[in-house]
A and B are shown apart, each in its own frame.
Chain A
Amino acid sequence: MIEGAAWRRWVFYNIPLILFVFILLFPFYWMIITTFRPDGELYRPWNAANYQPFWTNNPTLDHILYLFEETSFERWMVNTMVIAAVSTVISLFCGVFAGYALARLNFPYAGGLGTAIFVTYLVPQTLLFIPLAEIIRSFRLGDTPWSLILTYPTFLIPFCTWLMMGYFKAIPKELEECARIDGASRFKAMIYIILPVAVPGIMSAGIFAFTLSWNEFIYALVFLSSPEQKTVPVGVTSELIRGDVFFWGPLMAGALLGSIPVAIVYSFFVEHYVSGLTGSVKG
């Protein structure tokens, strides 16, 4: 692809790439530096003479301590983690089975059902949040983790199903038939022969689902009300802004710490995540 002199490589490839990386990562740097910056420096106008944007000589842990002492931040973390994990497991359970059925079994209306699941994949949360809030209330699930554990699968299952269908379709039919000839039941052939082959797909779907539920906001905002029940994104939004006053230090500390679990999960499974991402848009 690359022809010509070194300077061309720099001008056309390296410099643009460096710029992209810089811009895409700068807000995270800003989050980190704000977290450790003392309030005195934080609230110094940008046109002040001693404004020192990119570094601080007096790093402090005050904002992080504030988060743990004055808010229920650790509760939010636990809530988010539990909700994301449980709804991911539920979605994988449903999605793997549904994907298997739609990809490998012959039954009436299989095509129609596949299309229906694909269409729900495209239903955004913001279309249904108001009637759903009413339904959650009438089921007496309001302000409990269950309101999210049961509703997050609605956008995770279609995605998992879609991804798993792709994986299952790629596994040759002969593999299953061999097992059946050796006397395995249909169900056993699925559990012991096909699912192990599809483990990379299940991993991708799981990682992706986990990050999606960690990111979810509007359901959590509408269904939860007491500070102890909130998830990180909602807790940070509602408890660290009082009226017009933004507590920027703790806010950025919360954003940083609240991002770390997803970032860790992501860093361990980058390849799975990427294949989940690209699999999710394969037609």
Chain B
Amino acid sequence: MAVTAVSGVANRPIPRLRRLEDERWLALTLLAPTAILLGLFIAYPFFEGVLLSLTNTRVGIEGGFVGLKNFEKVWNDSIFRTAVWNTFWYTGVTTVFKLALGLWLAILLNRHFRGKALVRAFILLPFIIPTVLSTFAWKWMFDPTFSVINWTLFQLGFITKRINWLGDPDLAMASIIVVNIWRGVPFFAISLLAGLQTISPELQEAAAIDGARPWQRFWYVTWPLLLPVTMVVVLFSVIQTFADFQLVYVMTGGGPANATHLFATYAYQIGIGTGLLSEGAAISLAMFPFLFLIVVVQLLYIRRVETR
């Protein structure tokens, strides 16, 4: 091509800047800052974390090698088992609701009406406002003595005495799930809306002319076309939810009586709270196999879509 002909003229020894004409050198230069930062603060901590989890290090006390003792201890820890169960439950339930409600909201938004841009902008607020700050508003709304939710339910006649939302293990978990859904629905809705907008309305019309009912049009036309976007959104959300920390930390701190811990909050409580660094690192790393599995699924899926 013309490009190679131009750069091929110079056959003299190459000055340093000229090296950037070579794609490989240019690529190396452009990727170097990224590689250094990611290597230093992701790859290195990962290996450090694995090493740390095999010792008995505490804050200020350099530990020795203990093999898999930490993992063994964690495995027999009933709070850890609760945390594992909670994490799966929390991730599963919230994802189903976020998908269903997000899809519903996306369909509601996928038409022309006055003020659409404004509504869309406002709807995303739960997703952009820092989670910790909006979660405090929820915690205040759930406060047993001053709760506006209790007041509303009482006024509507659903309850007769106060509900201690964050003081009961099951209710506390349910409250956390509600807040997570509230925060996640906008992300699902806006992403799925973008997916819906790429589907040509002519397909809908063609199906309608062929006699398909609205439900059939959704199930056989829209849904299959929306599936690629849905898959990616769900997998992203699953990873974020699985590794969540902020929401539970603010709402309950893992309580009451350690009933609402997730992997991350329990790792924080053990590793930073009580200073058992190596055990905390082990709890964090216990997330890894599951995250790894999700990432593999995602990579395989993306590859399949790309090669199609």
Contact = CB atoms under 8 A, between A and B. Distances in A.
Nearest to A128: B45
A153 B36 CA distance: 11
A17 interface: yes
Interface string A143-157: 000000011011001
Nearest to B24: A107
B104 A16 contact: yes
A206 interface: no
A51 B38 contact: no
Contact of A177 (B3, B120, B232): B3
Contacts of B131: 215, 217, 233
Residue of B134, B150, B182, B186 with most partner-chain A CB within 10 A: B134
B288 interface: yes
A21 interface: yes
Residue of A24, A42, A280 with most partner-chain B CB within 10 A: A24
B47 to A, nearest CB: 8
Interface string A221-236: 0100000000011001
Interface string B251-290: 0000000000001100110011000010011001101100
A110 interface: yes
B12 interface: no
A187 interface: yes
Nearest to B151: A46
A25 B183 CA distance: 11
A113 B137 contact: no
B306 A217 contact: no
A232 B191 CA distance: 28
A76 B2 CA distance: 56
Contacts of A118: 299
Nearest to B193: A278
Contact of B111 (A1, A21, A248, A278): A1
A258 B142 CA distance: 21
A28 B133 CA distance: 10
A196 interface: no
B38 A154 contact: yes
A259 B264 contact: no
B123 interface: yes
Given A16-B108, A181-B6, A218-B246, A28 B129 contact: yes
A206 B118 CA distance: 22
Contact of B30 (A53, A100, A218): A100
B121 A157 contact: no
A110 B125 CA distance: 37
Given A128-B49, A130-B280, A281-B236, A248 B140 contact: yes
A130 B270 CA distance: 10
Residue of A13, A98, A236 with most partner-chain B CB within 10 A: A98
Residue of A13, A97, A222 with most partner-chain B CB within 10 A: A97
A263 B130 CA distance: 10
B26 interface: yes
B299 A115 contact: yes
Contacts of A243: none
Given A187-B26, A215-B130, A120 B52 contact: no
Contacts of B76: none
Interface stretch (A59-67, A197-205, A265-273): A265-273
B105 A217 contact: no
Given A21-B119, A131-B49, A46 B146 contact: yes
A181 B3 contact: yes
A243 B154 CA distance: 31
Contact of B38 (A45, A102, A120): A120
Contact of A107 (B27, B52, B110, B231): B27
A180 interface: yes
A155 B233 CA distance: 18
Given A24-B126, A46-B154, A154-B38, A185 B21 contact: yes
Interface stretch (B91-99, B167-175, B237-245): B237-245
Contact of B129 (A127, A246, A259, A281): A259
**Which are the 8 A-B pairs with shortest beta-carbon distances?**
A124-B243, A131-B49, A126-B264, A255-B133, A278-B194, A97-B30, A233-B132, A131-B48
Given A34-B140, A120-B42, A127-B287, 5 more contacts: A17-B105, A43-B146, A98-B34, A158-B38, A237-B250
20 contacts: A17-B109, A24-B185, A30-B137, A46-B145, A46-B147, A47-B151, A51-B151, A97-B34, A124-B291, A127-B243, A128-B284, A150-B41, A177-B2, A186-B23, A215-B131, A217-B249, A252-B137, A259-B129, A263-B125, A283-B228
Interface of B: 1-3, 6, 17, 20-21, 23-24, 26-28, 30-31, 33-34, 37-38, 41-42, 44-46, 48-49, 52, 101, 104-105, 108-111, 113, 117, 119-126, 128-134, 136-138, 140-141, 143, 145-148, 150-152, 154, 162, 182, 185-187, 190-191, 194, 201, 204, 228-229, 231-233, 236, 239-240, 242-246, 249-250, 263-264, 267-268, 271-272, 277, 280-281, 284-285, 287-288, 291, 294-295, 298-299, 301-302, 305-306
